[in-house]
Structure 1
Amino acid sequence: MTIRFPAPGDAGRATLSVTKVGPNEIEYEVKSGNNRSSGGARGPGQGCLTYLRDRGSGNSCGTLAPTRPSPQPGAVVIQAATGTDGTALLHIVSP
């Protein structure tokens, strides 16, 4: 599955590709301008947050609450997480 959305700043469009999904598992890759980032989660309650900014991106992975992340000024936030019931959750939050 591929999702396209406006990238922050002047980067144009970004692309999020879900590369793997299953019970308690999700993996993805994000492309925005010349930046690429990838992340994934395995096991109940795990996840990654990717922050896309006009001058780069960054990831943070580990134990996450399955709630939607808060909007961040000047950034698109992508959260991929696994729920405690075996589901995979994906959120894209823009400012």
Structure 2
Amino acid sequence: MTLHFPAPGDSGRATLSVTEVGPNKIEYEVKSGNNRSQGGATGPGRGCLTYLRAHGSGNSCGTLAATRPSPQPGAVTIQATTSTDGTALLHIVSP
């Protein structure tokens, strides 16, 4: 699955590709301009956040709640999480 959405600032469009999904597993890749980030979650209650900004991106992965992340000024937030019932969730939140 591939999604296209407006990137922060004047970066044009960003592309999010889900590269793998299964019970308690989700992996993805995000591209925007010259920036590229990868993230994913394997195992119940695990997750990864990617913050996509006009001049770069960053990831934070580990134990993560499946609740929707809050909007961040100047950033698109992508959150992938797995729940205890084997469900993989993907949230995209823009400012």
Q: For 1:5-84, list aligned pairs within 5 A.
A: 5-84=5-84
Q: SS at 1:77's partner residue?
A: strand
2:87 — aligned with what? 87
Give, in whole Å, the separation in 1 of the partners of 2:3 and 2:85: 25
Q: 1:54-94 deviations in whole A, cap 9, x for unaligned?
A: 00000000000000000000000000110111000000000
> How far is 1:36 from its partner?
0.1
Q: Which runs of 4+ in 1 moved over 3 A?
A: none
Consecutive unaligned residues in structure 1, runs of 5 or more: none
Q: SS at 2:40's partner residue?
A: strand
What's the RMSD between the two structures over aligned residues?
Answer: 0.4
Counterpart residue identity of residue 36, structure 1: R
TM-score in terms of structure 2 length: 0.99
The count of corresponding residues between Structure 1 and Structure 2 is 95
Consecutive unaligned residues in structure 2, runs of 5 or more: none
Identity %: 85
> How far is 1:40 from its partner?
1.0
> How far is 1:29 from its partner?
0.2
Give, in whole Å, the separation in 2 of the partners of 1:14 and 1:58: 15
